[in-house]
Amino acid sequence: MVIVKRKELSLAEKLYLPEVLRGLSVTFRKMFEPKVTRQYPEEPLPKTEVTRGQPRLVVNEDDAIACVSCGLCEAACPAYAITIDGGETDRAIEREPKRFDIDMLRCILCGFCEEACPKDAIYMSDELELADYSREALIYDIEKLKRPKAALQKRIDYVNRINKRWQTPSST
């Protein structure tokens, strides 16, 4: 059995009014302290390379994506947000996705696809805003997912740096 010992109140505390005044003074002082509110659309959140936004497909210097539709990201995705239909291509990589859809309403921004990708084709961008008038419009296809490499360069460098830290000599 737990016996709670209550604090014995002094007379001033029992009268309550002095304590009320004390509380009022606290709230009054707080009124003039700096505000923590962020005026969101005007003052967006600071974004760094660590920010894990929505996944995007990197468009390399040859104006094509590096994806070979191996399906590893599809398998890694815990939310089953990725759908890939593979196909052949005349390019040196021989295979490319005919369809690469990410359902942004299912995506949980976990970054597993980025980790799984063996061809450095998919990276987490710093884009976070997601709004549209229909569910269908939020299933992004390849065209909507494409981003030039320059836009994602900071994230790519960061991921490579982190990955290098965990690489053991034998695994390279």
Partner 1 sequence: MTTLEGFLIALAKTVVIFLGVVNVAALMTLAERKFSAWMQYRIGPNRVGPYGLLQPLADGVKFIFKEELTPAGANRFMFRAAPILAALPSMMTIAVIPFAPDIVIGGKNFGALTIADLDIGILYILALGGLAIYGVILGGWASNSKYSLLGSLRASAQMISYELTLILTILSVVVMSGSLNLREIVEAQSDITRWNAWNVHAMPQFVAFVLFVVATFAETNRHPFDFSECEPELVGGFHTEYSAMKWAMFYIGEYSAMTVMAALTVVLFLGGWSVPFWPDAPWYVGLAAMLAKTGCFLFLFLWVRWTLPRFRFDQLMRLGWKVFLPLALLNLVVTGAVVSLR
- Please report how close the Cβ of residue 40 comes to partner 1 at its closest, in angstroms: 11
Kind and range of the H or E run holding 148: strand 146-148
Judged by CB under 8 A, which stretch of 22-30, 73-81, 107-115, 137-145 contacts partner 1? Answer: 22-30
- Please report how close the Cβ of residue 4 comes to partner 1 at its closest, in angstroms: 18
Instruction: Write out the binding residues for partner 1, residues 25-84 only, by CB under 8 A.
Output: 26-28, 30-37, 39
State the SS3 of 15-39. Answer: HCHHHHHHHHHHHHHHCCCCCCCCC
> CB-based contacts of 12: which residues, under 8 Å, 6+ apart?
18, 19
For residues 149 and 75, what is the distance between their CA atoms, to the nearest angstrom? Answer: 24
Judged by CB under 8 A, which stretch of 19-27, 67-75, 76-84, 153-161 contacts partner 1? Answer: 19-27
- The alpha-helical segments, DSSP class H, found in 31-71 are none
Nearer to partner 1, 16 or 80 (CB): 16
Chain contacts with partner 1 (rule: CB under 8 A): 17, 20, 23-24, 26-28, 30-37, 39
